[in-house]
């Protein structure tokens, strides 16, 4: 028999639903407006609520940014996990393509990560949340390189792979004289060159 639902359960579910609504609104705003210019009022307007109401669910603007970033990191992390799990010898090109494509198509997450890396005003708690999200990427890449029979320790290799992919995104994000489709294809091509280096059995 299922446990009875209490009023406390319903209240908790309502709070989570409203937090989700606010984060989803923030993501939509981040996707169309320069990150540093996004305000609580912008997010509130997108969510269809008063800006004062947001503070009942998030203590400050940075908390919304962190939650939105973690949401994106979990989404692409799940894709990478499935690609690693589906084969005893995962295709590193598929994994880098998935990572790059997600970040290109959801540019706000790359801008969030860059913002957090450069912003020295985050609290220790928020920094730890961001670091935990990054560590989950490193853990997945560790699994990838172990399946590819790379020698231990593989963690430095995971760091290098993550840094290389982010370097592609940052370097070519505003590649002049190219259409968005051409920029994306160029990034994927550069990513495949990186893949070959990390796949080389001699490395």
Task: Pick the last residue of a domain from 22, 37, 58.
Answer: 58
Q: Are residues 167 and 96 in the same domain?
A: yes
Predicted TM-score (pTM) of the model is 0.82
Element housing 101 (H / E): helix 92-105
- Domain of 46: which CATH number? 1.10.10.60
| C-beta separation of 79 from 102 below 8 A | yes
Record the tokens describing residue 16, joined without a space. Answer: 């989570």
**CA nearest 138: which of 118, 120, 115, 161?**
161
Record the tokens describing residue 45, joined without a space. Answer: 């307007």
Q: Are residues 48 and 92 in the same domain?
A: no
Note the pLDDT of residue 119.
63
Length of the chain, please? 203
Q: Report how far residue 144's alpha carbon sits from residue 89's, in angstroms, rounded to the nearest whole number.
A: 8
Note the pLDDT of residue 106.
86
Note the pLDDT of residue 34.
72
Q: Low-confidence residues of the chain, pLDDT below 70?
A: 1-11, 117-121, 201-203
| Total count of domains within the chain | 2
Q: Are residues 118 and 168 in the same domain?
A: yes
**CA nearest 182: which of 106, 104, 92, 86?**
104
pLDDT tens digit sequence for 160-197 = 999 999 999 989 988 888 999 999 999 999 999 999 99
Cα–Cα–Cα angle for 43, 48, 50, rounded to 5 degrees: 75
Cα 196 to Cα 91, 96, 183, distances in angstroms = 11, 11, 20
């Amino acid at each position: 028999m299922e446990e009875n639902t209490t009023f406390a359960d319903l209240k908790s579910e309502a709070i989570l639903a409203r937090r989700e609504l606010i984060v989803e609104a923030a993501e939509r705003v981040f996707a169309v407006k320069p990150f540093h210019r996004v305000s609580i009022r912008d997010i509130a307007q997108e969510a269809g609520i008063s800006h004062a109401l947001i503070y009942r669910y998030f203590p400050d603007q940075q908390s919304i940014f962190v939650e939105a970033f973690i949401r994106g990191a979990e989404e692409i992390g799940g894709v990478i996990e499935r690609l690693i799990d589906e084969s005893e010898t995962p295709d590193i090109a598929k994994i880098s393509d998935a990572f790059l494509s997600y970040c290109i198509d959801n540019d706000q997450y790359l801008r969030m990560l860059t913002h957090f890396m450069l912003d020295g005003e985050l609290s220790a708690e928020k920094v730890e949340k961001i670091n935990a999200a990054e560590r989950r990427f490193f853990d997945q890449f560790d699994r990838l390189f172990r399946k590819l029979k790379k020698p231990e320790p593989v963690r430095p290799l995971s760091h290098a792979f993550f840094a290389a992919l982010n370097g592609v995104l940052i370097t070519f994000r505003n590649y002049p004289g190219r259409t968005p489709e051409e920029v994306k294809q160029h990034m994927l091509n550069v990513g495949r060159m990186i893949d070959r280096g990390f796949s080389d059995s001699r490395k």
